[in-house]
Amino acid sequence: MADLMQPFWQGGPSPGLFYEYPGKWSSDVASPSDARNRTSQPTVTGTSVLGLKFTGGVIIAADTLGSYGSMARFRNVSRVMKVNDSTILSAAGDYADFQFIKAEIEQMVIDEEVLNDGFFMSPGAVHSWMTRMLYHRRSKFDPLWNSVTVAGFYNGESFLGSVDKIGIAFKSASVASGFGAYLAQPLMRKAIEDNGDNLSYEKARHVIEECLKVLYYRDARSYNRYEIAVVTKDGVKIEKPSSSKPDWNVANVVRGFE
């Protein structure tokens, strides 16, 4: 009798599980083959990205630290990329997700070059695509844990926009992600208010460098090594990483944290 029943039960459910025709098993817990992985918390992360418009272009900056939790684990990671001759992009948040975004954009650029039709993505198009991309992933409950900054210069106009991990997007004369939204954004907005449409490249760079210094003082995930990228009508320039000269005498005036 056992020999006659063996083929019938072959591939059947394990004890406590249910049998589904034809030969599938199910339970309240998904089977290993149906498992889904979702990033519930970023692993290696980058902190603030700063962006500021000036007369004739846009400047953005990001430090080169990849934090593993609270540990300054990787100190030479680049978070700024050139999309094309009119657009640059940078991201705060999970570094692996930024690498995925970078690979997707690079493939799109290759596809455009293969077409050879004389058209390429403008900064506004890249910003719009990022909005759709991040909102799509958010809608799948599998977000890319990044706040993306897109900057460019196209048709005689500067462009600067930001998109967060759930697809909320905006354009502004100054953007900051991470802790920079609290510490650096007021300094950049003051520079815009004081200079209006006459903010020069030299002044904008000075403001960005001062903001990076403030973040190094105040943000535990920041680092005193950063990349600066500039886009103008002449194209994109991403500078080699550099450092500022901090002055820790300011520590003497800090009170209330003893």
> What does the block give as tokens for 36?
């889904």
DSSP 8-state secondary structure symbol assigned to residue 204? H
> Helices 95-115 and 123-139, interaxial angle, to 10°?
130
**Residue in the block written with tokens 């030299």:** 202
**Residue in the block written with tokens 């019938």:** 8
Q: Choosing from 39, 64, 87, 131, which is the catalytic residue?
A: 39
Contact 79, 248 (CB under 8 A): no
Quick one: which H or E segment has residue 185?
Answer: helix 185-195
Q: Is 70 exposed, middle or buried (0-12, 13-18, 19+ CB in 10 A)?
A: exposed
Cα dihedral: 135, 137, 141, 143 (round 10)? -90
The 10 Å CB-count burial string (b at 16+, else e) for 218-230 is: ebebbbbbbbbbb
Q: Answer yes or no: 39 catalytic.
A: yes
Residue 76 has, within 13 A of its CA and on its CB side, a CA count of: 1
> What does the block give as tokens for 13?
């459910």
> What does the block give as tokens for 249?
């005498």
CA R_g for the chain: 24
- Any idea which residues carry the catalytic annotation? 39
